Chain A
């Protein structure tokens, strides 16, 4: 279990400033949500903190280490990411075994066959599925493979970028249950991006509301129903979600 500290994170793409001095802390073992409308910079925070983009300013620390100073292999063993669309994030011509084994091989893990089988069991898939290709799996099964790929390197922190928004509600329920169970079993720290406050309310202890690349407010889960938001935009977003829930 490792905490995450993000301090004054800023990034510009060309002339456009996408993140403005974003700072927040995530405690070890916490599930922290990032909410906001599209284009508000939620996913960009994950991409910066995982060094998929490295042109940012500020500091990101995981545990007591600066992500910029971590060697690549160590960084990848500490932080893993699950992307939004399992149809896009798995290589269509690699079998599940190849996809999962690659990280183990690069990082010199021993006993790979047993680890592969264990990862499949962890996410509730039959071990025989290792020899399937992504097109032979349903969307929910694919997202399970993406989660297995992230946890097979035994990371401390998982970044979840809209892990269920490409899935049906029925499959979303399975994947959310899986993420909750894995957190209880393995003590992951989750940083989760979502546009759905109901999912955030179900999963997260605290969450940040973002707008135009800034954090508007950091709130506890109870603030959604308890009306604890103080900033106008945070109120507006929560009210819109509650109204949508109530209207339907």
Chain B
């Protein structure tokens, strides 16, 4: 199958920044789940935003940046308006900030649908309600008419997922989709997202700082450090990660029932900033 997304040697420099935020990142994505992991400032979210073409002032260079038949490097904004939100969409970290506080939840979902599909208001409403049901919201008719401040964080994030998946996109970028949620609902939201992504055969990029989360919900993992991919491997091989940075990240996580010994701390080395010869 043709890849959904093909990115070769992507570099991004923010306007006025002395050094690029992302350097020579290459990967291809089929209808699979790819995790991008790294610390804050490693450039993982920047990659996601560049794919959505949301960085209009940054200087973006790449050998190739192809989403299906769309050349993301040169596509005019008019074409991007048609692609963004319809064929690729993005789930952000915190529903408190990503939902419009003065519009009813259901209205926002229906609006996302009507932006891309010509249909009557009542049809959009029916679609939105059906989608709310798919993200396991009980009583979707009632939730449709609630404002974002009236729903909990977990429900808000499910509203966000419903909105982003309603147009049947081929690519979904989830940027820390659960780090603002309580642990009691985190797994539930992840499972709903995971189930929908599998059922609909969507390509998913999951951006997260949590290696363990990515291990459970992704097929492949890219580990980024200071704007570069330092290691790319299958999620099930994560325990055999070679790079000291990947191993350090895994070890630094306190575990329930752990030894309470001092946690291993990353000893950062300048050599990690050098490009890797072999990249997946």
Contact = CB atoms under 8 A, between A and B. Distances in A.
A210 to B, nearest CB: 12
B252 A172 contact: yes
B256 A173 contact: no
B255 A168 contact: no
B187 A173 contact: no
Interface stretch (A19-27, A76-84, A235-243): A235-243
A247 interface: yes
Interface string B33-58: 00000011000000000000000000
Contacts of B186: 244
Nearest to A233: B184
Contacts of B254: 172-173, 176, 198-199, 201-202
A236 to B, nearest CB: 7
Contacts, number: 86
A197 B183 contact: yes
Contacts of B209: 168-169
A180 B260 CA distance: 10
Given A201-B257, A201-B258, A173 B263 contact: yes
B253 interface: yes
A243 B40 contact: no
Interface string B232-254: 00000000000000001100111
B45 to A, nearest CB: 13
**Secondary structure call for the A interface:** helix
Interface in A205-248: 224-225, 236-237, 240-245, 247-248
Contact of A244 (B183, B215, B248): B183
Interface residues of A, number: 33
B262 interface: yes
A74 interface: no
B2 interface: no
B210 interface: yes
Given A169-B209, A170-B249, A177-B265, A236 B256 contact: no
28 contacts: A37-B182, A169-B253, A170-B266, A171-B39, A172-B252, A172-B254, A173-B252, A173-B253, A173-B264, A173-B266, A174-B265, A176-B263, A177-B265, A196-B183, A197-B183, A198-B253, A198-B254, A198-B256, A201-B254, A202-B260, A224-B256, A236-B184, A237-B183, A242-B256, A244-B186, A244-B187, A245-B256, A248-B215
Interface of B: 39-40, 153, 182-184, 186-187, 209-213, 215-217, 248-249, 252-258, 260, 262-266
Given A169-B209, A245-B256, 11 more contacts: A37-B182, A172-B254, A195-B183, A197-B183, A201-B254, A201-B258, A237-B183, A240-B183, A243-B187, A247-B216, A248-B210
